[in-house]
Structure 1
């Protein structure tokens, strides 16, 4: 079947089977490989994208379910001039990544949180990230990065 949606502000379409997952459509058909496949079971959050403004694990959604939707991937998070967004820059500035595999999902989760709660507490950040796994960082610098992106002092994050 042919599906059409807007991805990162651009119309796109492609032929998919009914069982094609959104993550497969984005990576394999659209070539947007920033959205990672980590576990195939919706446990890790590496495949997090935004669909019509809400945070979604794209390994749990069929591509056909996104017909007509507005989808934002990590590639769509940068500023129009190609510079890093506030959230991406905060991850870089506060060392909120190590291997980087989870980073796209973490950035997308952070963006969803800050959209709904522009000044979250450390506890709220940690609670929101429960669906995103990082095997490298211990989360401290990720939390600091999100607090910094919200304009808050990072010293409040526990060491």
Structure 2
């Protein structure tokens, strides 16, 4: 194994995408979690608020991810950027060893500093139907 696929999910979409990337690359699948309840309308609103205000939350991964390892981070798009847990995890990673996949229903990430410095950034947008294309592109890039 040569890397990790770290995912954070509220609805299960990011998990499905991460599982597909892990299967295609042989990277270890890692769950990123926090102790927050993001369910329902209140959870949705709270998620946007926490992300817009960059409120710090406690995060943890299901396995230790070495600081110098190559990672793919799969996260939903919240308030124009990565979900807060993913944003905090990304802050601990060198961008030149990090690939980022953002999933949403209708838009791409507007708030992504240093986008060009990541190994790969993919915006999976449900209304564009581009999930298969982005998963294939990142998998090919990581395996080659």
TM-score (normalizing by structure 1): 0.26
Q: Which has the higher strand share?
A: 2
Structure with bigger gyration radius: 1
